[in-house]
Amino acid sequence: MSALLQVNNIRRAFRTTLAIDDVSFDVQPGELLGLIGPNGAGKSTLFNLIAGVLPSTSGQIIFDGKRVTGWKSHDIARIGVGRTFQIPKPYRQLSVVENVMLSAFLREKSLAGARRLAEATLVDVGLTDYIEAPASSLSVGLLKRLEVARALAMGPKLVLFDEIVAGLTPTEVGAMTKFVAALPSRGITVIWVEHVLYAIMKTATRMLVINRGKLIAEGAPAAIARHPAVVKAYLGEEMDIA
Amino acid sequence: MSVEFRPTRISMLPKRGQISWFEILSLSISILLIIPGIAPNFQDVILLSFLFGGLALAWNISGGYAGLISFGHSAFFGVGAYTSTILLVNYGVSPWIGVWIGALFSAVLGSVLALICARLRGPFFILSTLAFAEVVRIGALNWSSLTGGPEGLSIMPTPLLTNMVFASKTTYAALMLTYLVLVYFVTKSLEASRFGYYLLAIRDNEDAASAAGVNPLAGKTAALALSAALTGVGGSLFAQYFLYLDPTYMISPELSFQFALLPAVGGLGTAVGPVLGSFLITPLSELLRSHLGNAAAGLHLVIYSFSLVIVMLYFPTGVAGALNRVSHWRPFS
C-alpha cells in the first residue's frame, strides 16, 4: 500500500531559527496519527507546511501521489486536505450552517445541496441545536466542534486536527475522542496534534513526537509513553495509558 | 390544539438573497417618484439619489461583501465616464454602446488594482487605493490630447436618443432608476450565489477561506472587477446627465469617500443598506448645499458632517442594521 502523505526531509527556517529541522515521515491511508511535543516544538508549523500556509525552506511533501511542495493552501484543500485551526477562525458574520456550507462547496456546487451536506455534518459533530445560530455567538468548546465540522464537510482524504479538545470539559473530550476514533473507518485519515494526552494516546494508532523542530520518537502509543527521550523532553515521567 | 406558525413565503423585511415586501414597496415608491408632476421640485435630488444609490451598491460589492474598503473608486467612475464620452465626442460611438466599453475598461483597471494591492491588508490596502486613484487623476489631467486635461470634455447638449441626451429630467430619472435596479439585481444574485459566499468568507477570515479551498486573491480580483465595471457604468450616466466632465471632480478623493460613505451609513454588506444610505445622505447634502451654500459658506458641510457622526455613533451597523433589529424586536416576550 502506498502512503497517502509522504513528508521528506522538510525544513522550515524563520530567519536563523530552524522551526522544523529535517523531518521525514509517512502516513498510510486509514491511520490515526498522533503528533505531540512541548510548546514551541514546531507542531503547528508542521501543519502549516503540510496545508500549504507556509512554504518550506527545503524538502518535499507528496500527497496522494502529487508533489504538493510550494502549492497554495486553497489548492491543497481542493485535493483533499482538511484542517482545523488551533485558535478557531470562524466566519463571524455568518451563521453556523453557512460556515460549514463554505467547506461543503468543494463537494456540492449548489447552495441547497451544500446546505444539506453542512446540516448533516453539523448533526454529526453535535451542533444540531446551533445550525442557524450566528457563529459569533458560540462558546470556545462549540467553536472547536465547528472547526471539525468545517474540515469534514470538505470531504477530505486527510484531516489535520490542531488541538480540538483543549479547553473542553472531560465529557466533551470523551465524546470528541470517540468521534475522531471513528473517522478512519469512514475513509478519513487523521493527523492529530493534542496536549490532552489521555485522549490522544488512547485513540492514535501511531504517535510522532517532535521537539525543537526534530522528530525524536515514533511508534505505538504504549511504547511512546515509556520512551526515554519523550519522557525527558515532554512527559516528565512515564505515562500509564491503560 | 396548537397553532402552528408558518412563515409567509415573502418576508416583510429584507433578507440576504431573498426579495422582501420592503423591497417591492420601495421599488413601487421609486417608480411613483419619477412620474412627472409628482415631485417637480425634487427631480434633481431624486435622480441623483438613484444614481448614487447604484454607485453605493457597486462599491458595496467589493467594500461590503468582500471587505475591500476602497477609497479609490472615483478612478473607475472617471474611467467609465471618460471612455463613453471620448467615444461619443471623438468617434461618434453611441453611449448606449460606450457605457459597456467603459465598464470593460473599468473592470480591467479594477483587476489591476486587485492584483497589485489586494495582498495588502487593512489600512495598507485602503491607502493604496487612495494613491491608485490619485495616479489615475494625475494621468487624466496630463493626457490632454485624450481627456482635454483640466479644461475637461463637453457633450453637445442637443437631445438625441442615440446620444443618450434627453430634454426631460423624467427620462434621466428613469435611466438612473434602471441603473439602480440593475446593480440591485446583481447584488441580490450575488447574495444567492456560491461566489457571494466566497466573498463573505474572504472578508470574515481569509485563512479559513483558503483552508476551505477558496482562492482569496481570485475572489478579491473578481469582486473588484465587477464593482469597478458597475461603477464605470454610473460614471458614464453621470457624464450623460451633466454633459461635462473634468478630472478634478470626476476622479476626486471626495467622490471616492462619498461612494464608501453611503453604504457605511446604510449598512455594509447588505443590499438595501447602500440604497437607504443614498436616499438619506444625497438629499441631505444637496438640500443643505442649495439652501445654506450661499448664506454661510461651509455651514452645510458642518451640518452634513455632524449628521454623519450621529449616524456612525448610534447606528454602527447602518440603517439596514437598525431595520434588522426592529425585525427581531419582541417587546412582549
Q: Tell me, what's the ipTM?
A: 0.91
CA nearest to A86, candidates A123, A49, A47: A47
Residue B197 burial (CB count, 10 A) = 25
Whether residue A74 sits in one domain with residue A17:
yes
Domains of chain A: total = 2
Residues A62 and A166 in one domain: yes
Q: Closest to B210 (Cβ–Cβ): which among A73, A105, A106? A: A73
Residues of A in contact with B216 (CB under 8 A): 74
Q: What is the reported pTM?
A: 0.90
A51 Cβ under 8 Å from any chain B Cβ = yes
Contact A176, A200 (CB under 8 A): no
| Span B81-91, average pLDDT | 95
The total of other beta-carbon atoms located within 10 Å of residue B276's CB is 24
Q: Which of the 8 DSSP states describes residue A236?
A: S
Q: Is A78 on the interface with B (CB under 8 A)?
A: yes
Residue B11 CA, distance from chain mean position: 26
pLDDT digits (tens, 9 = 90+) for B209-268: 999 999 999 999 999 999 999 999 999 999 999 999 999 999 998 899 989 989 988 888
* Cα–Cα separations (whole angstroms), residue B206 to A74, B118, B201, B236: 11, 12, 7, 34
Q: Give yes or no: residues A69 and A178 share one domain.
A: yes
Mean of per-residue pLDDT scores for chain B: 88
Q: For the purposes of burial, counting CB atoms within 10 Å of the CB of B267, is it exposed (0-12), middle (13-18) or buried (19 or more)?
A: buried
Instruction: Give the per-residue pLDDT at A39.
Output: 87
Of the residues A111, A135, A155, the one at which a domain ends: A155
Residue A26's alpha-carbon distances to A12, A208, B2, B28, B318, in angstroms, are 18, 11, 60, 65, 53
Whose cell is 448645499? That residue is: B289
The mean pLDDT of B6-30, rounded to a whole number, is 81
pLDDT at A48 over 80: yes
B10 touches chain A (CB under 8 A): no
Q: What is the mean pLDDT of residues A100-108?
A: 96
C-alpha angle with apex B19: B15 to B21, nearest 5 degrees?
Answer: 95
Q: Please say which residue of A122, A155, A188 terminates a domain.
A: A155
Rounded Cα distance between B195 and A177, Å, is 35
Please give the share of chain A, as a percent, with pLDDT higher than 90: 77
Is residue B233 within 8 Å of B178, Cβ to Cβ? no
Residues of B with Cβ-Cβ distance to A55 under 8 angstroms: none
pLDDT tens, residue by residue, B108-133: 999 999 999 988 888 899 999 999 99
| Same structural domain, A38 and A116 | no
Q: What percent of chain B has pLDDT over 90?
A: 55
Above 80 in pLDDT, residue A105?
A: yes
**Which of A112, A129, A155 is at the close of a domain?**
A155
Residue A38's domain comprises 1-80+157-242
Residues 242 through 301 of chain B touching chain A, CB cutoff 8 Å: 269
pLDDT in tens, B62-73: 999 999 999 999
Same domain, A146 and A163: no
Predicted local distance difference test score (pLDDT) of residue B162: 86
pLDDT tens readout for residues B156-199: 888 888 888 888 889 999 999 999 999 999 999 999 999 999 99
Instruction: Identify whether residues A27 and A64 lie together within a single domain.
Output: yes
d(C-alpha B31, C-alpha B188), whole Å: 19
Report the greatest alpha carbon distance in chain B.
80
- Same domain membership, residue A161 and residue A76: yes
A78 pLDDT above the threshold of 90: yes
Which residue among B192, B201, B210 sits closest to A91, beta carbon to beta carbon?
Answer: B201
pLDDT at B291 over 80: no
Pair A15, A73 in one domain: yes
Verify whether the Cβ–Cβ distance B207 to A85 is below 8 Å: yes
CA atoms within 13 A on the CB side of B131: 9
Contacts of A113 in chain B (CB under 8 A): none
- Distance (Å, rounded) from C-alpha A131 to C-alpha A115? 10
Is the pLDDT at B295 greater than 60? The verdict is yes
CATH number at A176 reads: 3.40.50.300
Indicate whether A131 and A184 sit together in one domain.
Answer: no
| Residue A242 pLDDT class (50, 70, 90 cuts) | low
Residues B208, A93: C-beta atoms closer than 8 Å: no
Residue B252, all three cell numbers: 476626486
CA distance A36 to A42: 10
Q: Are residues A240 and A143 in the same domain?
A: no
Domain shared by A20 and A36, yes or no: yes
| A26 and A129 part of one domain | no
**Whether B210 and A91 lie within 8 Å, measured CB to CB:** no
Burial of B2 (0-12, 13-18, 19+ CB in 10 A): exposed
